[in-house]
A and B are shown apart, each in its own frame.
Chain A
Amino acid sequence: MRIRGGHSLGAVRGILDCSGARIPRSLHGAEVVGLHPHRVDCVEMRLSVAAMTLTRQEIEKVALLARLILTPEELDEMTGQLSRVLEYMALLNEVNTEGVEPLAHAVEFANVFREDRVEKSLDRELALANAPHRDDECYLVPAVLGDV
């Protein structure tokens, strides 16, 4: 897999295989600092500040993933603004997080369960009440299969 210069940690990650392959010490500004304790298919990577300038193409891809559509003006503005914010995020490079467990929630819960028992749910009419487009039973959307 080709590594784009000074960019795309994703591409770098894709070719690294901790289970045996040789791991390069440094790749185009992304420095390998250690192995993740739990994930054998990735390494702990240090963000490269230089890598944080987004291309318009990447923004368009992210917009598609986010199910948004941006005007050319919005794309330009967004590219600049997000690049600036991401550059700031590179501050986290300074923190040594080797061996630190991620904290996803302030209160560390295991799964909270209830009995698998049918309980009263929302009445269908209430559930459909805010629908932009509906029939007697369902929400209506443009055809998913076949030709438009």
Chain B
Amino acid sequence: MTSLDKFPFDRCASKLLVALREGHVTSEELVQAALVQIQKYDPHVGAFLAVRGEKALDQAREIDRRRARGEKLGLLAGLPVAVKDNLCMEGEPTTCASRMLARFVPPYDATVVARLRAADAIIIGKTNLDEFAMGGSTETSAFQKTRNPWDLERIPGGSSGGAAACVAARMVPLSVGSDTGGSIRQPAALCGVTGLKPTYGRVSRFGLVAFASSLDQIGPLAQSAEDCALLLEVLAGHDPRDATSIHRPVPRYREVISHRPESIKIGYVPEMLSDGVSPDVVRTMEEALNVFRSSGAEIREVTLPHARYAVATYYIIACSEASSNLARYDGVHYGYRTDEKAMLAELAEERRRLQQEGNVAALEDLDTALVRLYRKTRAEGFGAEVKRRIMLGTYALSAGYYDAYYLKALKVRRLIRQDYDRAFETVDMILGPVTPAPAFRIGEKINDPLAMYLFDLFTVSANLAGIPALAFPAGFSGEGLPHRSATSGASSFRGAFAPGGAHVSAGDGLAPASSAVDRKQSTAVLKSPRGSLE
């Protein structure tokens, strides 16, 4: 290692790219550093489900060779990145942290994975998540818990907990996650990194294992908004293989973000800072607003009258869509299948018993072998939270309830969207907390699904409305992301959210808070990034 610190990934990705281009460091050295960091800290953090060390090193050496030969390289050439394990990677297991897909090896790349490869990024491993992205704490993963690098007794957030934790723990400079109801932004906030959910349709969902098709979006996690912009430029773009992908040219986000607009109007919703929100979060929000005010932004109050219905609306829609999307896991084509012999024997035994009892009605109702195959496969392959959501969705869509639940929710969704359209007539950006309270302890909420769902109250609206949203550590000295008011729809960064964390961000090249500063963060007691682990 030449001119790099002990923790090379304290630097932002763009600076690392410069170092690579100017020959101060090789890609092999970077990947090696990442692997060392992972080896040292991941046994405690548990961010990764799989690390492809040898392949990553081979790729790194190849990039170094091509660079030495003066060949043209991709935008992220030589940088190690991590990818959430619900994104298909050809030839590598993609498990969605579920027993259902524990041994599933996709025969194709997700579009974003193909784009990362084309940009010469080095995918170093797949990160842990809540099972099928259903959860807000990464606790529902069937394989392992991921712990918050700032406090190992606490959740990293979810469902992209692994993707957020590995960036926070300085294992990689960039990671890719997915966000359906806050699953990038909430773990980013709780881990003190920056995460972006782009405008719906901005990034292709082809190869993202579907949870809720009208809500899912893929996005970047990094230590700074600038790095998120860099990664987004690689990920974004129209894809004919995703019918919901938008036809709009991808701006050069790196340039967009470097332009400070002369004037910016930032809105905030007073109700978001009232009951149910922890005082820590409120204080941090007010500090954040002051930072923006002192850098010249105009702060205005806005209202989102239907915000209080967002969680109910979201969960009806998300679970309904999930019940449909997860119907494909039937044990037939791929994934887990129940022990067929045992299943047939059990069924035969049930039939014998019912015949002996003369129970004609029950015999008629008895599952056929194929139906029993489906039922047992799914009962054994899915975890409790996934089953809960499938059940909720099935109920909400069933005959007689469809109008009362699903259709009703879709109408409220339009009202939520209209609230935003109205608000954005007077402001460019809306600032708010990401979570109502700091990161809770592992195990604290897992037995109370409703309490877990209510933790999402600030994030779900952006998915419902399809607008982009950014989570960044509060106390950021400077703009989060500059905005562009789009002509229609939701093209650039028109919405942004700040987490309730008083963490001096690593954006703009600022160093993270030193261990001398012991400030109560909304997530944990702040130490230096290595503090909790050493």
A-B contact pairs, 14 of them (CB 8 A): A14-B400, A45-B404, A67-B374, A85-B315, A85-B392, A85-B449, A88-B312, A88-B450, A103-B417, A106-B464, A107-B244, A122-B108, A142-B369, A144-B369
Query: Which residue of B105, B370, B449, B489 is within 8 Å of A144 (Cβ)?
Result: B370
Is A126 a contact partner of B107 (Cβ separation < 8 A)? Answer: yes
Give the Cβ gap from B203 to chain A, nearest Cβ, in Å: 13
| A86 CA / B371 CA spacing, docked (Å) | 28
Instruction: Decide yes or no whether B104 CB sits under 8 A from chain A.
Output: yes
B74 at the interface (CB under 8 A from A): no
Q: How far is the CA of A65 from the CA of B390 in the complex (A)?
A: 10
Listed residue (A47, A68, A81, A109) with the most chain B CB atoms within 10 angstroms of its CB: A68
Please tell me if the beta carbons of B489 and A107 are within 8 angstroms of each other in the complex. Answer: yes
Query: Is residue B200 within 8 Å, beta carbon to beta carbon, of the partner chain?
Result: yes
Given A45-B404, A112-B243, A148-B344, A82 contacting B214 (CB threshold 8 A): no
B389-403 interface mask toward A, CB cutoff 8 Å, 1 = contact, 0 = none? 011101100111101
B394–A69 touching, CB < 8 Å: no
A148 to B347, CA, bound (A): 9
In the A-B complex, the 8 residue pairs with the smallest Cβ-Cβ separation, listed nearest first, are A10-B400, A106-B466, A102-B410, A130-B334, A132-B337, A142-B369, A103-B414, A97-B411
Measured in the bound complex, the distance between the Cα atoms of B333 and A10 in whole Å is 35
| Interface membership of A117, Cβ < 8 A | no
Q: Does A50 belong to the interface (CB within 8 Å)?
A: no
Q: CA A74 – CA B413 in complex, angstroms?
A: 32
State the CA gap A105–B243 with chains docked (Å). 12
**Are B214 and A104 in touch, CB under 8 angstroms?**
yes
How far is the CB of A60 from the nearest CB of chain B, in Å? 11
* A66 with B323: CB separation less than 8 A: yes
Q: Which of A104-118 contact B (CB under 8 A)?
A: 104-107, 109, 112, 114
Q: How far is the CA of A8 from the CA of B373 in the complex (A)?
A: 30
Q: Say if the beta carbon of B348 comes within 8 Å of chain A.
A: yes
Residues of chain B with a CB closer than 8 A to A54's CB: 395
Contacts of B246 in A (CB 8 A): 107
A130 CB contacts on chain B under 8 angstroms: 103-105, 107, 333-335
Q: In whole angstroms, how far apart are the Cα atoms of A66 and B323 in the complex? A: 8
Q: Is A21 an interface residue (CB 8 A)?
A: no
Q: Are A91 and B312 in contact (CB under 8 A)?
A: yes
CA distance A68 to B408 in the complex (A): 26
Given A97-B415, A104-B214, A139-B333, A67–B400 Cβ distance below 8 Å? no
> Within 8 Å of chain B (Cβ to Cβ): is A32?
no
**Extra contacts besides A82-B395, A84-B450, A144-B369 (9): CB < 8 Å:** A95-B412, A106-B417, A132-B334, A132-B336, A133-B340, A142-B344, A142-B370, A142-B373, A148-B348
CB distance from B362 to the nearest CB of A (A): 13
Question: Once the chains bind, are B392 and A148 in contact (CB under 8 Å)?
Answer: no
Stretch of B109-117, B224-232, B262-270, B375-383 at the chain-chain interface: B375-383
B248 to chain A, nearest CB (A): 10
Cα–Cα distance between A36 and B408 once the two chains are bound (Å): 11
Q: Which residue of A lies closest to B321 (CB)?
A: A104
Kindly identify which residue among B327, B337, B368 contacts A133, using a CB–CB cutoff of 8 Å.
Answer: B337
Expressed in whole angstroms, the Cα–Cα distance for A65 and B403 within the complex equals: 18
With a cutoff of 8 Å between Cβ atoms, the chain B residues found around residue A67 in the complex are 327, 330, 371, 374-375, 378
List the B side residues contacting A10 at CB < 8 Å.
398-401
Which residue in chain A gives the minimum CB-CB distance to B489? A107
Q: Is the CB of A132 within 8 A of B214?
A: no
Give the A-binding residues of B (Cβ under 8 A).
Answer: 103-105, 107-108, 200-201, 214, 240, 243-244, 246, 306, 308-309, 311-313, 315-316, 323, 327, 330-337, 340, 344, 347-348, 351, 368-376, 378-379, 382, 384, 387-388, 390-392, 394-395, 398-401, 403-405, 407-415, 417, 449-450, 453, 464-467, 489-490
Interface of B is mostly: helix
Q: Give the residues in chain B near A127, CB-CB below 8 Å.
A: 107
Determine whether the beta carbon of A97 is less than 8 Å from that of B344: no
B-chain residues with CB within 8 Å of residue A74 when the two chains form the complex: 384, 387
Cβ of B379 and Cβ of A11 under 8 Å apart?
no
Would you call A129 an interface residue if the criterion is a C-beta within 8 Å of the partner chain's C-beta atoms? yes
B411 touches A100 (CB 8 A): yes
Q: How far does the Cβ of B61 sit from chain A's closest Cβ, in whole Å?
A: 29
Cβ contact of B412, chosen from A58, A63, A64, A97, cutoff 8 A: A97
The contact of B244 among A62, A86, A109, A132, by CB within 8 Å, is A109
| Cβ-defined partner of B315 (8 Å) among A89, A105, A132 | A89
Contacting residue for B370 out of A11, A95, A100, A141, CB 8 A: A141
Q: Which B-chain residue is minimally distant from A91 (CB atoms)?
A: B312
Contact B465 A66 (CB under 8 A): no
Across-interface contacts of B323 in A (CB, < 8 A): 66
Chain B proximity mask over A70-98: 1 for CB below 8 Å, otherwise 0: 10001000100110111011011011010
CB pair B415–A95 under 8 Å, yes or no, is: yes
Residues of A within 8 A of B306 (CB): 95
Q: Does A101 contact B (CB under 8 A)?
A: yes
Q: Does B390 contact A68, Cβ atoms closer than 8 Å?
A: yes
Min distance, Cβ B18 to any Cβ of chain A, angstroms: 36
- Establish whether residues A9 and B404, one from each chain, have CB atoms under 8 Å apart when the complex forms: yes
A103 to B411: give the CA distance in the assembly, Å.
6
Let me know if A142 and B413 touch, CB within 8 A.
no
Instruction: Please judge, given known A-B contacts A85-B453, A97-B408, A104-B410, whether A68 and B369 are in contact too, CB under 8 Å.
Output: no
* Minimum CB–CB distance for A87 against chain B, Å: 9
Q: How far is the CA of A47 from the CA of B404 in the complex (A)?
A: 7
Using A129-B105, A132-B337, A142-B369 as known contacts, say yes or no to A92 and B313 having CB atoms under 8 A apart: yes
**A125 to chain B: closest residue by CB:** B107
Closest to B407 in A: A102
Shortest beta-carbon distance from A120 to chain B in Å: 12
Q: How far is the CA of A28 from the CA of B405 in the complex (A)?
A: 18
A100 touches B415 (CB 8 A): yes
Give the residues in chain B near A148, CB-CB below 8 Å: 344, 347-348, 351, 368-369
Q: How far is the CA of A18 from the CA of B202 in the complex (A)?
A: 42
